[in-house]
Copies of this chain bind each other. A is one copy, B any other.
Amino acid sequence: MKTNNPTQQAAVTTADKVFEQIQHAIVEGKIPSGSKISEPELAKRYQISRSTLREALNRLEKCHLIERKANVGSRVVQCSIEGLLELYITREALEGMACREAAKNMSDEEILHMQAMLKVHAQTQELKDGIAYYQEEGDLDFHYKVILGSHNKQLIELICGQLYHLIRMYRCQFGMNSPRASRAFDEHSRIIQAIADRDGELAEMLMRRHIAASRKNIENKIAEEITHKQQTNIQLIKS
């Protein structure tokens, strides 16, 4: 599984390695969202000193996976619907702009490479009818390439270095395996086309719509679940 993003260099120090381990544990929910983190306990579990663990915790805080209060301690960030929607709003802003910049700054080779990638995705999608692989790897790959294509270090660092892990966390914990793979694929195609045409304005608009569509899709899903629960409750009351 390709979980590491190309922006962060390989982990050399033990704090780095433990950071990655805990990161995965949090993303996958093995350390539950919202739970308190005990420094002595985690240090013992990973066989490291508390100083080293704290170094790892600092990096976790940097990518918004945990929150710290002075003299109180750390908690795994609490997943919530509001948090998810806020994250999407932020992505819409940042990735939209990244897409505009990509249309301006990507080299012709990069564009060709991305178009080739999309063709591979198309075939895989046809084969598997686009459920798991596409969303998990293909989608992330696509967004990655666009962001890196912006050639803007600030944007790259913010999205790939920080927000990326939070996004993955929500994907894991809310079980978001794309029900809109084929539509997303079309949207990706059009975005690349706009980038290839060097039409930054259109590229940004399309990317924003693409992400906004995802967000609305989730909002609807949530709304459905609520109505479903209410109906269940009504049935329970009636019975």
Contacts and interface: CB of A to CB of B under 8 A. Distances in A.
Interface string A73-114: 000000000010011011011101100010000000000000
A239 interface: no
A16 interface: yes
Given A71-B13, A97-B92, A155 B58 contact: no
A152 B97 contact: no
Contacts of A94: 90, 93-94
Given A61-B62, A96-B93, A70 B154 contact: no
Interface string A11-39: 01100100000000000000000000000
How many copies of this protein are present in the complex? 2
A158 interface: yes
A158 B51 contact: no
With a 10 A CB-CB cut-off, give which of A51, A70, A87, A93 has the most chain B CB atoms.
Answer: A93
Contacts of A96: 93
Interface of A is mostly: helix
A154 B97 contact: no
Contact of A71 (B12, B54, B87, B101): B12
B90 A155 contact: yes
A221 interface: no
A89 B62 contact: no
Interface of A: 9, 12-13, 16, 51, 54-55, 58, 61-62, 64, 70-71, 83, 86-87, 89-90, 92-94, 96-97, 101, 152-155, 157-158
15 contacts: A9-B70, A12-B71, A13-B70, A13-B71, A51-B51, A58-B62, A62-B62, A86-B152, A86-B153, A89-B101, A90-B158, A93-B96, A93-B97, A93-B155, A158-B158
* Top 3 closest pairs, chain A to chain B, by CB: A93-B97, A58-B58, A86-B154
